[in-house]
Structure 1
Amino acid sequence: MTFNVMQGGGARRPRIIDQIAQSNATIVGLTEIRCNNLDRWIDGLTRLGYTHIEHSCPEAAGHDKTHSVLIASRVPVQRVPLEAVEDPARWVAVYAPSLDVDVLCVHIPGTPDDKVRPGTHSLLGVERKQMMWEAVIGYVRPRKDKRLIVMGDFNTGRNDIDKTPDGTPYKCAEFIDQLDALGLVDTFRALHPTKREYTWYSRSKRSGRELNGFRLDHIFVSTALSYGIVATDHVHHVRGLVAKGGLSDHAMVMAELDLTVMALDLIA
């Protein structure tokens, strides 16, 4: 399961944790975690049985509000060190020995997310986005033949189906094709190849009404795990205006995998 908790979750955190409990997921990937309430997230998740937690918040972050990523697991996981990237707070990788599964959770920057870098040139959002996508591809390539899950908020989709027709075209959409070329399978598309369904909507600044929809949040699996895709779902009731009880501006994304199914099991 993966969920963008929106700006650290704030006062919504207890209700988000209740929703995670209802999901009964084995491994959870959360994006837009903030370091200033990290301890509360860890405490709440641990109480649910997620006793193995890795996150990207710097050790001395304190009250820092930088968007970060967290993986919470019911089974033991080992942190996987990654090569230096421009936005290290936006991804976490682990390995679950008992499942023999590698997991990467990412929050790829959006095109508007420019970044000021003191002492050097600033980065445009599209530059940050491309750099992180390149890093994701670099992580996937040597693991493509293993049991691999890559999930999170990608701020990216396919322009022909993963947005409403009037929605702004995605930048870096070609990287979705690169994942496909490496054998990664979009769990939602595996079961719903032509369905138009979205995890985030732009809104009118004046009225707050939803405008264009985009499928930004995904769970991809390697070919080795794709044979065991049982179910996928977008949990939409959590998405909405906070003032009206919404938990986030994103839908929660679920995928159920049968890790015992192998390619040979499907050969008659």
Structure 2
Amino acid sequence: MLSILTINMQAAAPTRAQRLLTWLLNRDDDVIILTETSNGPGTQHLLTELRAAGLTVTHQPSPDRDRGCAIATRVPSRPAPHLTVGISLPGRAPAIILDTDPAVSVLGLYVPSSDRAPTKVAKKRAFLTTVQDTLAAMHAADRAHLVVGGDYNVISRDHQPRYPGFLTFEYEFLGTLAALGLTDIHQRLHPEAQAHSWIGRGGNGYRFDYLHAGPGLQPHLTAAEYLHQPRLNGLTDHAAHSVDIDVPATVKRGAALAMPTPL
């Protein structure tokens, strides 16, 4: 069984990063997609301690100090930069190939947020466009066993509650994933549920965090849930999202018991 978790770490400062690290190491996820990483000491501490606990970390800090994405895994893996050639902000889109049977590729995404300022809209549009182009150019056999996940910063057209302000290209991203055969795992397993992964100050819920799977993995999807404990405990402002996929994997289970180094 392969377990995958995505969580937005909200560019955690060292103290909060330590608490988030403890929560992660007390779990048993095989793959962790961390979104909203930063070039700061909190991210550095968390990633260093994950490596010390035996996980393999793939992370490319952005030279302009932009926020990014990292993947940590207990499953033997190798980086797969060839899967992300052409994506406009590579630090927000790491990719790896897991030593599973069949081999599963994982693409993490931290999509830029946008407050409708023209420069931010252009940055987000370019990133989403290049991600879609990259996925469309990928050989169908590679997409068949691909998992895409992270903080997409978009909602669906039928999201409840309905919110104004999202642009057409933002709505189209989820539709493009579906058209490419990538299934929204939570929606597939819980078709009647409207999940929320980020709650605004006014109490309004948004579903920003997702995990998608290619057609070769869809018959093997067994579980999907949103975990609100880290949000409610102040570790981050997002819920975590986890899925289980029934494929064999060789995993370093001892990493789950390692204790983080105190700050």
In 2, distance between residues paired with 1:7 and 1:164? 27
**2:40 counterpart residue number:** 36
SS class of match (2:87): coil
**2:146 counterpart residue number:** 148
1:15-34 to structure 2, matched below 5 A, reads: 15-34=19-38
**2:230 counterpart residue number:** 238
**1:213 counterpart residue number:** 205
1:139-178 to structure 2, matched below 5 A, reads: 139-141=134-136, 142-145=138-141, 146-161=144-159, 163-165=160-162, 167-171=163-167, 172-178=170-176
What's the offset of the Cα at 1:35?
1.9
In 2, distance between residues paired with 1:216 and 1:9? 22
Amino acid at match of 1:252: A
* Residues 145-174 of structure 1: per-residue CA shift (max 9 Å, x gap): 33100000000121212x423x33533111
Amino acid at match of 2:15: A
In 1, distance between residues paired with 2:193 and 2:165? 18
Answer with 123-132 or 189-198: which moved more: 123-132
| Cα pair 2:86 2:134 within 8 Å, conserved | no
| Cα pair 2:105 2:145 within 8 Å, conserved | yes
Tell me the TM-score normalised to structure 1 length. 0.80
SS class of match (1:196): coil
Aligned length, in residue pairs: 235
| Cα pair 2:86 2:130 within 8 Å, conserved | no
What's the offset of the Cα at 1:113?
7.3
**2:242 counterpart residue number:** 254
| Cα pair 1:14 1:44 within 8 Å, conserved | no
Residues 1:46 and 2:81 aligned together: no
> Structure 1 stretches of 5 or more lacking a match?
115-122, 204-209, 261-268
Amino acid at match of 1:69: C
Residues 1:103 and 2:106 aligned together: yes
In 2, distance between residues paired with 1:218 and 1:77? 22
In 2, distance between residues paired with 1:259 and 1:92? 22
* Distance change >3 Å, CA 113–CA 107, structure 1 → 2: farther
**1:93 counterpart residue number:** 95
| Cα pair 1:75 1:96 within 8 Å, conserved | yes
The structure where helix makes up a greater share of residues is 2
* Distance change >3 Å, CA 65–CA 113, structure 1 → 2: farther
Residues 1:134 and 2:136 aligned together: no
* Distance change >3 Å, CA 234–CA 13, structure 1 → 2: same
Aligned residues: CA RMSD: 2.0
SS class of match (1:238): helix
Give aligned-pair identity as a percent: 26
* Distance change >3 Å, CA 86–CA 228, structure 1 → 2: same
In 2, distance between residues paired with 1:9 and 1:29? 18
What's the offset of the Cα at 1:97?
3.3
Residues 1:8 and 2:12 aligned together: yes
SS class of match (2:106): strand
| Cα pair 2:108 2:150 within 8 Å, conserved | yes
In 2, distance between residues paired with 1:91 and 1:137? 12
> Structure 2 stretches of 5 or more lacking a match?
249-263
| Cα pair 1:107 1:153 within 8 Å, conserved | yes
